[in-house]
Amino acid sequence: MAAKNSKSLLRKFSIIFVGIALIPFIILFYLHSLYDESHRFIQILDAHFSLILAIIGAISILGFFGMRLTIKKIVLLTETVKKSVLDKIDEKTMLELAEEEGEIGELAKSFIHALKRVDIKEQQPKETKEMIYDVLKKASEILTVVNNYDNLSRLVLETAVDALGAKQGALFSADDGRYILKAWVGNDDVTSEQVMNAAQVYLDKMRRENKFFLIPAKEKGKQSDKLFIPPLVFSPLVYNEKFFGVLCFYGNSYWNEFSNEHMAIVLNLSHQLAVSFENAKINKNTDQTYFETLAALALAVEARDPYSRGHSTRVGKCAVKIATFIGLPEKDIKTLRDASMLHDIGKIGIRFGVLTKQGKLSAEERYVIRNHTVIGESIVLRLKTYKHLLDPIRHHHEQLDGSGYPDGLKNGEISLITRILAIADLFDTFMENRSYRSGMDFTDAKKELDYLVEAGKIDKDILRSFYHMIDKENTGKISGIFANAQ
């Protein structure tokens, strides 16, 4: 659409410019026609001369105002869009431009549509607008780097540094007996060589011992270099007994120490990155490599919110158990497992304060959080061999009565896999602590799920199968459903 509008504008300018430029040539040809056979100039009557001047003047004026009007519309549209983003929407002007015929109208309609998509209203506070644009910006960054494995690995590291409150972080790969710096988040003024030199003593220790280690803040560093200052966390990237590299974080900004919970997050990330490293080396299917790296990113995104850490893993474990109990084929069970891992990756750009807000969310904040399903779908859309995950990722918050989001699907429009994921997601949400409430016990969570069935929002048969599965496993407090989920 933009290309079409640009060509139309260019065509209009060309016609006006050429029309004005041809006027002198037309006059010359006319004067040339006034010569007789002996090349004598035939006198022009005053009336004819006045007519020529009038025609030239009229064409010049029309050309001037035509170009001025076109330029004015473009400037007006540009200023309106600028105000829409930075200040407030001039809806009246934008709607007037949208009524124009041709490319100006089409451009205005496109901007109106885009602004409605991000639900920016005149009364919204500036910080809310900024929050919405931050989400879209962060999502666009992922869509840009998803085809570049190194850049995607760096994005995982950046998100993890933010989630852990670390000051700096580094990701090293081990190739042919030597280390290579894959990603670095910290002081931009230092070179890769300086980072490698500063980390070498720790990397050598990692190669010798091949195990996770922590250097507390109270211990002095083993070198004078200021890049690696305790507290330090170093974790090996190991998968199938193969050593692929090292993930490290240092300088915790919040508590000047890394907690056991932080270390569990680092271990999970290290495992997921090791899987992606192996795929990058031996697997020709690049989509598989990117999927595993996105899974690591999903873990890092989840780690930003202390109330949802481990959520995707628990949901996946629960969903797989339900699907297995029902008797779904292995293909569908794998789809559920993979979709569970990535179902909340669209929360990448949501600010920490919104995720952990204790009070009631504003309409704009609810929009931002709800839009994570669409953003998540857009991210995974780039992986051609994982298109079967798009439906459960986008629709796991749909409800059978059509009151869910983002598309308001009803009954048969929601797939069986998505219905299972929705119940597993709700159950974990009820059972775990949230910023706005404490986690429920199984009895209260069951009451909430039963209420949703009575209201026609979730699948009654799947929930019944879920209960039967629990009774059969005799898990009592349901803890067995999520054993070893972390």
Is pLDDT at 84 greater than 50 in this prediction? no
Q: pLDDT band at 120, cuts 50/70/90?
A: very low
Phi, psi of 416, deg, nearest 5: -60, -45
Q: What percent of the chain has pLDDT over 70?
A: 64
For residue range 231-252, what is the model confidence (pLDDT) as tens digits? 889 999 998 888 899 999 988 7
Give the least confident one: 32-36, 183-187, 344-348, 480-484. 480-484
Can you give the pLDDT at residue 306?
Answer: 72
For residue range 140-179, what is the model confidence (pLDDT) as tens digits? 666 666 667 788 888 889 888 888 888 889 999 987 778 9
Can you give the pLDDT at residue 220?
Answer: 53
Is pLDDT at 119 greater than 50 in this prediction? no
**Distance of alpha carbon 400 from alpha carbon 413, whole angstroms:** 9
Task: Return the half-sphere exposure (C-beta side, CA atoms, 13 A cut-off) of residue 248.
Answer: 32
**Residue 252: both structure tokens together:** 């915790």
- In the sheet that holds 242-252, the strands lie side by side as 178-185, 166-175, 242-252, 232-239, 213-215
Q: pLDDT band at 393, cuts 50/70/90?
A: very high
Give the least confident one: 73-77, 195-199, 336-340, 469-473. 73-77
**Distance of alpha carbon 300 from alpha carbon 158, whole angstroms:** 9
Q: pLDDT band at 325, cuts 50/70/90?
A: very high
Q: Which range among 166-170, 182-186, 271-275, 338-342 has the greatest average pLDDT?
A: 338-342
Can you give the pLDDT at residue 122?
Answer: 43
| Pair 250, 233: CB distance under 8 Å | yes
Is pLDDT at 394 greater than 90 in this prediction? yes
Look over the chain and give the mean of its residue pLDDT values, rounded to a whole number. Answer: 77
Can you give the pLDDT at residue 13?
Answer: 60
Return the exposure string of 320-356: e unless at least 16 CB atoms fall within 10 Å of the residue's CB, then b: bbbbebbebeeebbebbebbbbbbbbbbbbbbeebbe
Give the least confident one: 32-46, 111-125, 306-320, 402-416. 111-125
| Pair 149, 280: CB distance under 8 Å | yes
Residue count (the chain): 486
| pTM for the structure as a whole | 0.62
Phi, psi of 41, deg, nearest 5: -80, 125
Can you give the pLDDT at residue 351?
Answer: 74
Compute the average pLDDT of residues 390-401.
96
**Distance of alpha carbon 30 from alpha carbon 40, whole angstroms:** 14
Is pLDDT at 2 greater than 80 in this prediction? no
**Distance of alpha carbon 249 from alpha carbon 167, whole angstroms:** 8
| Pair 344, 376: CB distance under 8 Å | yes
**Residue 398: both structure tokens together:** 């749909």
How far out from the chain centre does Cα 397 lie?
18
| Pair 346, 379: CB distance under 8 Å | yes
| Pair 453, 468: CB distance under 8 Å | no
Instruction: Give the residue from 303, 373, 372, 288 showing the smallest Cα distance to 338.
Output: 288
Is pLDDT at 391 greater than 60 in this prediction? yes
Can you give the pLDDT at residue 454?
Answer: 95
Give the least confident one: 168-172, 232-236, 369-373, 396-400. 369-373
Q: Please, what are the domains in the chain?
A: 2-117 (no CATH), 123-147+305-486 (1.10.3210.10), 148-259 (3.30.450.40)
Can you give the pLDDT at residue 357?
Answer: 76
Per the model's pLDDT, the better-predicted residue between 396 and 4 turns out to be 396
Rounded to a whole number of angstroms, the distance between the first and last alpha carbons of the chain is 47
Q: Which range among 250-254, 291-295, 408-412 has the greatest average pLDDT?
A: 408-412
Q: What percent of the chain has pLDDT over 90?
A: 27
How far out from the chain centre does Cα 24 lie?
57
